[in-house]
Amino acid sequence: MDFPRTLPEGGDVLPGVANAVAIASAKGGVGKSTVAVNLALALAADGARVGLMDADIYGPSLPLMLGLRDAPEMDDEGRIRPLQAHGVSTMSMGFLAEEDAPVIWRGPLLGQATQQFLQQVDWGELDILLIDLPPGTGDIQLTLSQIVALSGAVIVTTPQAVALEDVERGIAMFDKVEIETLGIVENMCFYVCPHCDQKHALFGEGGGQSIADKAGVDLLGQLPLDERLRAAGDSGTPLIVSDPMAPQNKAFTDVGQALVSALSELT
C-alpha cells in the first residue's frame, strides 16, 4: 500500500509518523472503536505500518478488543514502548490504569494525558497513526487540534436519523479547529441473513450518503452489522486475525483503501 505523507518531516510531536488520523463520532454507541480496531488491522494486513492510540481516557476499550493485558515498558530515553497486537503498535490508558478502576479526571488532566500519549510514546516509523477519540466534542478533541497537526478526521455514524444529526456537529467542530474531515464511515448499515443471504437495512438506509453529500465529504464505506465481528472483538481476537478470509473483512479493507485515497488528495 503506497501511503502519502501529510505530516511534516521531523516534527517535534510525531517524528516518524507520516499520517495521523482521528477516528471520531459525535455520539456514543455507533461502534467507533470497533471500526478503529478493524480498520487498523485491515491496513496492517495490506502492508502498512500502523499505530493505534486509544484516546478514550474514561472508557478505554482497545485492550479488551485486542486481547492485551500487559503494562508497557519504557525505553532508555524514558519513553513508553507501545504494545504490539497483530502487527499494530498500540497504546491505551487501559494499559496503565488499575483493572476495573474508574479514571476520574477533570478536563485539564485529560488534555495532559492525551499530550503525553502523543509526545512520550515511541511510535517509531509509521505510515499511519489512528487515534480513537472518545465520543462527543470535548477536551480531548480540542487538545489534539492544539498539539498536533492531524492529517484529518474520519467520522463514524450509523444510519439512524439521531446519529446523522450529530455528524453535522462533529464536522462543524473539526472545521472550527481547521482539521479536514476526510470522510464518513457508516457502520451497522445492514444485516446479512445467514439463511437467505439477503441484506436487511435494520436502521434505515441512504442516510450516510445523504449526510456526506450535504457536508461535501466522501462516504468512505458502509459496514455490516455482524455477529461474528462483535463476538471476535469481545474475545480479544478480531475476525480479520482469527479468520482472514471471512467476507466481513472486505468492508474494512475497502474503507482502508478509500482512506488512503482521501489522504493522497491532501498532498
Antiparallel, parallel or unpaired: β 152-157 and 199-200: unpaired
Burial of 102 (0-12, 13-18, 19+ CB in 10 A): exposed
Comparing CA positions, the residue from 249, 65, 219 lying closest to residue 155 is 219
Quote the CA–CA distance of 193 and 159 in Å, as a whole number.
Answer: 19
Helix (H, G, I), strand (E, B) or coil at 87: coil
List of E strands, 25-87: 50-54, 83-85
Domain regions of the chain by residue span = 20-264
Compute the average pLDDT of residues 119-147.
80
Q: At what angle do helices 32-45 and 227-235 cross, to 10 degrees?
A: 80
pLDDT (0 to 100) of residue 10: 61
Q: Which residue has the higher pLDDT, 163 or 90?
A: 90
Does domain 20-264 sit in CATH 3.30.70.100? Answer: no
pLDDT in tens, 55-66: 876 667 888 899
Residue 211 half-sphere exposure toward CB, CA atoms < 13 A: 27
pLDDT in tens, 30-56: 889 999 999 999 999 999 999 999 887
pLDDT at 129 over 90: yes
pLDDT band at residue 98 using 50, 70 and 90 as cut-offs? low
pLDDT band at residue 265 using 50, 70 and 90 as cut-offs? very high
